């Protein structure tokens, strides 16, 4: 995946801010993001996540695509299982006994510098593009929801300097 493919994945998305920044409007009320075609980034505005999203995009560009897409999510799930004592198990490649999004979200609080969250996001974006889903808005809905939650978790933790 090239830098331009990653940028194009988010460029002019109708659903990104609805699914990623709107759930965080209790932190910053200006959740609707505007894209700048000249800079290929979101336009920073007062009380907006645009600058944090731009920083996150720069990090996603810089990190390598993980070898196995779900390994980083599995690390987060293992953290939940071991440190939060959740009764979850991975059976036939799927984590059961709890909502998967909740597992990843809670596991992310033990993720040093959000390295597993960022790698999980990069892996999901790469997989989507490889499967012809070249825009966030065009992703398969289940995967889109998980990616949106991963990105929102990153922004949430950064807003409170939790990571």
Residue 139 lies in domain: 3-159
- In the chain, the number of structural domains is 1
C-alpha 102/C-alpha 79 separation (Å) is 13
* Tens digits of residue pLDDT in 122-141: 999 999 999 999 999 999 99
pTM of the model as a whole: 0.93
* Tens digits of residue pLDDT in 26-84: 999 999 999 999 999 999 999 999 999 999 999 999 999 999 878 999 999 999 999 99
Dihedral angle sign, alpha carbons of residues 132, 19, 152, 3: positive
User: If residue 94 lies in a helix (H) or strand (E), which one and from where to where?
Assistant: strand 94-96
Residue 43 DSSP label: P
CA 127 from centre of chain = 13
C-alpha 150/C-alpha 155 separation (Å) is 9
What length is written for the chain? 163
Other CB atoms within a 10 A radius of the CB of residue 91 amount to 9
Other CB atoms within a 10 A radius of the CB of residue 20 amount to 26
pLDDT above 90 as % of the chain: 85
Q: What confidence category does residue 160 fall into, taking pLDDT thresholds of 50, 70 and 90?
A: confident
């Amino acid at each position: 995946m090239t830098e331009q493919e990653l940028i194009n994945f988010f460029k002019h998305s109708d659903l990104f801010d609805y699914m990623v920044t709107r759930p965080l409007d209790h932190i910053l009320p200006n959740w609707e993001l505007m894209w700048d075609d000249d800079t290929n980034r979101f336009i920073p505005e007062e009380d907006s996540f645009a600058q944090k999203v731009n920083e996150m995009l720069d990090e996603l560009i810089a990190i390598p695509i993980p070898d196995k897409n779900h390994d980083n999510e599995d690390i987060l799930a293992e953290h939940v299982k071991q440190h939060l004592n959740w009764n979850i198990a991975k059976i036939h490649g799927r984590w059961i006994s709890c909502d998967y999004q909740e597992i990843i979200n809670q596991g992310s609080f033990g993720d040093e510098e959000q390295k597993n969250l960022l790698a999980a996001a990069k892996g999901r974006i790469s997989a989507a593009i490889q499967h012809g889903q070249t825009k966030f808005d065009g992703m398969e809905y289940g995967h889109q929801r998980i990616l949106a939650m991963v990105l929102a978790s990153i922004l949430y933790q950064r807003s409170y300097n939790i990571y």
